């Protein structure tokens, strides 16, 4: 079965709320010696993106969306428990995302993979006011502030956070990264608002933040810099 057909099959089980069938697909992945990372990046993430795209286009009913996001969350937690945990690399990341179930799922996949790669992450989800994000950045001074799987409605506060960090230089060594969500749907949006660390999916985010050469070139004064993206991976 092709990868595309496998993702389509998994998607169908999710939107129909077919829990045994969804678990069977994941079990088959283990039987074929798939790694937890590949199950997340090659099966769960594409199915998640399909769910989000169809729901936002009014091509997926609310019932199907609720079935799929609740079931996918359970499965992601189970797969994440199998992820190997590398020694901590001393890098820290503070994560925020959009407020919907689906957006939190997308961000959770990125957090799980980044933790597996040795990063220390804090994940607050969506709906956190900009002033609280700024206060947390000032207090924790993370290496990365990540807005992953954000919604279009989050953009005003993302801009406020970015502008405030530039204006007061609160944490000059904190790099801002974005990906997924609205940043995947609107090409060039990250560059337009002055963010130059961009990844399309969770595995690309890990590659991007783990790349010393990319991070060394990044700065919170990103408006003058070209967008840096993780290398493209074969589908």
- Note the pLDDT tens digit of each residue in 142-187: 999 999 999 999 999 999 999 998 887 778 889 999 999 999 999 8
CATH class of 3-80: mainly alpha
Low-confidence winner among 11-25, 112-126, 192-206 (lowest mean pLDDT): 192-206
- pLDDT score at 196: 81
Quick one: pLDDT band at residue 212, thresholds 50, 70, 90?
low
Q: Quick one: how far is CA 40 from the chain centroid?
A: 11
Enumerate the CATH 3.40.50.280 domain ranges in the chain, comma separated: 92-229
**Which tokens hold the place of 159?**
């801009």
Tell me: pLDDT of 137 over 70: yes
For residue 135, name the pLDDT band (cuts at 50, 70, 90).
Answer: very high
pLDDT at 231: 44
Cα–Cα distance measured from residue 196 to residue 177, given in angstroms and rounded to the nearest whole number: 7
pLDDT averaged over every residue in the chain: 89
Residue 213: pLDDT band with limits 50, 70, 90: low
Please, where in the chain does CATH 1.10.1240.10 lie?
3-80
pLDDT at residue 221 greater than cutoff 70? no
The reported pLDDT for the residue numbered 85 is 95
CB 133 within 8 A of CB 96: yes
Pairing of strands 92-96, 228-229: unpaired
In the block, residue with structure tokens 């990341």: 93
Q: Find the mean pLDDT for residues 48-73.
A: 97
C-alpha 172/C-alpha 157 separation (Å) is 19
State which CATH number among 3.50.50.60, 2.30.130.30, 3.40.50.280, 3.40.50.300 fits the domain covering 92-229: 3.40.50.280
């Amino acid at each position: 079965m092709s990868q595309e057909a496998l993702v389509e099959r998994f998607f169908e089980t999710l939107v129909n709320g077919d829990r045994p069938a969804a678990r069977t697909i994941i079990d088959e992945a283990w039987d074929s010696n798939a790694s937890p990372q590949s199950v997340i990046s090659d099966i769960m993430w594409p199915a998640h993106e399909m769910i989000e795209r169809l729901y936002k286009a009014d091509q997926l009913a609310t019932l199907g969306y609720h079935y799929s996001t609740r079931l996918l969350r359970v499965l992601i937690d189970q797969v994440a428990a199998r992820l190997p945990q590398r020694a901590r690399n001393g890098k820290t990341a503070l994560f925020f995302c959009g407020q919907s179930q689906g957006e939190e799922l997308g961000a959770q996949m990125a957090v799980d993979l980044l933790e597996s790669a040795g990063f220390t992450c804090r994940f607050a989800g969506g709906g956190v006011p900009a002033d609280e994000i700024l206060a947390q950045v000032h207090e924790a001074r993370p290496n990365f502030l990540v807005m992953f799987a954000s919604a279009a409605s989050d953009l005003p506060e993302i801009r406020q956070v970015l502008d405030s960090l530039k204006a007061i230089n609160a944490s000059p060594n904190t790099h801002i990264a974005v990906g997924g969500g609205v940043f995947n749907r609107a090409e060039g949006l990250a560059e337009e608002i002055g963010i130059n660390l961009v990844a399309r999916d969770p595995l690309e985010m890990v590659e991007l933040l783990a790349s010393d050469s990319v991070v060394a070139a990044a700065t919170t004064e990103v408006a003058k810099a070209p967008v840096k993206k993780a290398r493209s991976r074969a589908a």
